[in-house]
Amino acid sequence: MIKIGIIGGTGYTAGELIRLLIYHPKAKIISVVSKSNPESFIHDVHQDLLGEINMKFSKSLDQNIDLVFLCSGHGQSRKELQNIPKHSKVIDLSQDFRNENQSYFQDRKFIYGLPELHKNIIKESNNIANPGCFATAIILAILPLAKIKLLKKDIHISSITGSTGTGKQIIDTNNFSWRNNNMSTYNIFTHQHLNEIEQTICKLQNNFSPYIYFVPYRGNFSRGIISTVYTTLSSDISLEKKKNIYYDFYKNHPFVEISETNIDLKQVINTNKCFLHLIERQNKFIVISIIDNLIKGASGQAIQNMNLIFNLVETYGLNLKSIRF
C-alpha cells in the first residue's frame, strides 16, 4: 500500500482527496496535517466523511510516508517542503511550481502534471505540479491542435467556475447572498492560469504568437467549470477531420471524452472526466469543455498522477459516476 500524507487538510481539495483515497485500492492515509484544526476529527470539518473515516488531524507530518499531497494553498508549498522527508514523493496542488522557471526546490524538480500531455514523463517523476482547474479545462480543449501546430490565430475563451474554485476562505464573492442569482467577471485577460496555458502551447508549438483572450466568470453554483474556446483554423480542414484529430489524440486517455451532442456540467460533476464538444460556426472552430473543478481540476487529477507515478492502473480510485440529477 502507498502510505499517504496530506498537508493542509481542511480545504475543499483536501476533503475531496480524503474522500477518494479512502476507497483507493492501493493507498492508505497515514496523516492529515491541519494547523487550524489540530487534534479535531476529520469528519468534524469534512462532515460528509462522518462514518467513513475516524482519524484526527495531526499537527505534523508522519515521516514514514511514500507520498505527500500539498494542499496548503498558493505561496505556502516551499515552506512546507522543508519539513517533508527527502524520500517522499510530492504532488503539489498549488500554483507554486507550475511555471517552468519556478519548478525547482532544492533537489526537487517539479513536472507539470497534465497526464494527457506528460504521461510518460510523470511515470518517471517524483515531484508533480498539479495543473490549475481553468488551465486543465482549457488546455484539454486545444491540446490536439497545438500538437499538430494548427493554432495560428488568436484564441478566445469564456469560462464559468463554481464558488468552490476560490476555496473556503470567507470573501464577499463567496457569500451565498452575493453569489446566489448573480454572476461576475474577474481577472479579464490577466488570470494566473494563462501562464500555464501559454507555456503548454509553446512547448508543443514553439512558434506560437497569437494572443489568448481569456474571460473568467464567477458562477452561481458550487462546483464545475464550463469553457467555450474558439479560434480560426484552416478552412481546408473539414469539421469531420478536426474531430478525428481529437478522437485520435485522446484514444489512449481514459478521462477525456468527445461528445457528438451538446454537453452540460452535470455530466461530469463528481467525476475525473473532461467532456469536449466540437462545432463550427461562421468560420470559427469552437470547443466546449466541461470538468469538475475539484476532481479533474484538482484532487482527482492529483490521484491520477499518483497512479502514474507508482505504475498503477491510471483509473484506480477514479471510476466515479456523475451526479446527474
Query: For the chain, what is the HEC assignment?
Result: CEEEEEECCCCHHHHHHHHHHCCCCCEEEEEEECCCCCCCEHHHHCHHHCCCCCCECECCCCCCCCEEEECCCCCCHHHHHCCCCCCCEEEECCCCCCCHHHCEECCEECEECCHHHHHHHHHCCCEEECCCHHHHHHHHHHHHHHHCCCCCCCEEEEEEECHHHHCCCCCHHHCHHHHCCCCEECCCCCCCCHHHHHHHHHHHCCCCCCCEEEEEEECCCCCCEEEEEEECCCCCCCHHHHHHHHHHHHCCCCCEEEECCCCCHHHCCCCCCEEEEEEEECCEEEEEEEECCCHHHHHHHHHHHHHHHCCCCCCCCCCCCCCCC
Q: For residue 215, count other CB atoms closer than 10 A to its CB.
A: 16
Q: For residue 149, count other CB atoms closer than 10 A to its CB.
A: 12
Q: For residue 225, count other CB atoms closer than 10 A to its CB.
A: 28
For the question of residue 71 being annotated catalytic, the response is no
Catalytic residue among 71, 133, 202, 274: 133
Catalytic residues: 133
